[in-house]
Amino acid sequence: MTAPRLDRGDYGLLLLGLLGEREMYGYEVVSELRARSTAVIDLPEGTVYPALRRLERDGLVRARWVDVEGAPRRRYYALTTAGERALTEGRESWHRFTRAADQVLGG
Amino acid sequence: MTAPRLDRGDYGLLLLGLLGEREMYGYEVVSELRARSTAVIDLPEGTVYPALRRLERDGLVRARWVDVEGAPRRRYYALTTAGERALTEGRESWHRFTRAADQVLGG
DNA sequence: TCACCTACCTAGATGTACTAGGTAGTGTAG
DNA sequence: CTACACTACCTAGTACATCTAGGTAGGTGA
């Protein structure tokens, strides 16, 4: 019964977009996404952490542990060169797609 | 190794968008999508036919067989009332999403 | 003591796209 | 008359991402 939602894709590109600005850790990514999109994009942690792992597995991001005083340690993620390239390409194909979709949906 | 693609969602909404304009049959949907999006959205038949079936199963479209002289018969699909409502809602949430995504990706 | 927040993680279910086929009818070029 | 191409439909199986629903652990404040 649920209506079809075009916004259910591979969210990896959004994570690349955030990490393209600065190094971030997983939990920060979750709250940044929510803040920046005024809660429109509200990915649960169970979605974000596996997604970051996939990006790492595919060589698009690099991770490092950082100890923090008086808090659990954080796993910071940063783009690799391949990640930056993927972000650029992904952004372009995303814009191509939105233009095409608006052509179909009526912009 | 493949780069993450934000444009892999549930394409059902696009089909609703097409059918919102006029009744169409499956094969027509495939070629219309390709034509209208200048081949950016190129869904294979193996994607479109099952998607139409799902929309029908969910009560968003209604199907009828039409005999054609000198050609294989066609299965025409049209929106139901629920389908029109789903299209309106889907369009809105799609626009909310693109705005939010551009906020993250850098528009 | 209890609740809550940060910060990370995973197993399993669900669901969709896509691959790679298949059937059948019509028209056409060699 | 044969081979190819095009229309028009269909399905089984695979791959993969989201999401649910948990869990672990350290720290803070009532």
With respect to residue B7, please indicate whether it lies within any of the assigned structural domains: no
- Domain of residue A24: give its range: 12-101
pLDDT 10s digits, B45-95: 999 999 999 999 999 999 999 998 888 899 999 999 999 999 999 999 999
Who among residues 31-60 of B has its Cβ near strand D, under 7 Å?
Answer: 45-46, 49-50, 52-53
With respect to residue A4, please indicate whether it lies within any of the assigned structural domains: no
With respect to residue A7, please indicate whether it lies within any of the assigned structural domains: no
> Cα B37 to chain center, whole Å?
12
Domain count for chain B? 1
pLDDT 10s digits, A15-72: 999 999 999 999 999 999 988 887 789 999 999 999 999 999 999 999 999 999 888 9
Give the C-alpha distances (Å, rounded to integers) separating B76 from A70, A81, B26, B49. Answer: 64, 49, 7, 12
With respect to residue A66, please indicate whether it lies within any of the assigned structural domains: yes
Which residues on chain B are in Cβ contact (under 8 Å) with A13? 3-6, 105
Nucleotide nearest to B51 (CA to C1'): C16
With respect to residue A90, please indicate whether it lies within any of the assigned structural domains: yes
Nucleotide nearest to A8 (CA to C1'): D18
With respect to residue A55, please indicate whether it lies within any of the assigned structural domains: yes
With respect to residue A106, please indicate whether it lies within any of the assigned structural domains: no
With respect to residue B88, please indicate whether it lies within any of the assigned structural domains: yes
Tell me if B106 and A96 make a contact (CB, 8 A cut-off).
Answer: no
**In whole angstroms, what is the distance from residue B19 CA to residue B4 CA?**
29
CATH number of the domain where residue A73 is located: 1.10.10.10
Which residues on chain A are in Cβ contact (under 8 Å) with B55? 4
Return the structure tokens found at A93.
């194909």
Q: Which residue has the higher pLDDT, A64 or A6?
A: A64
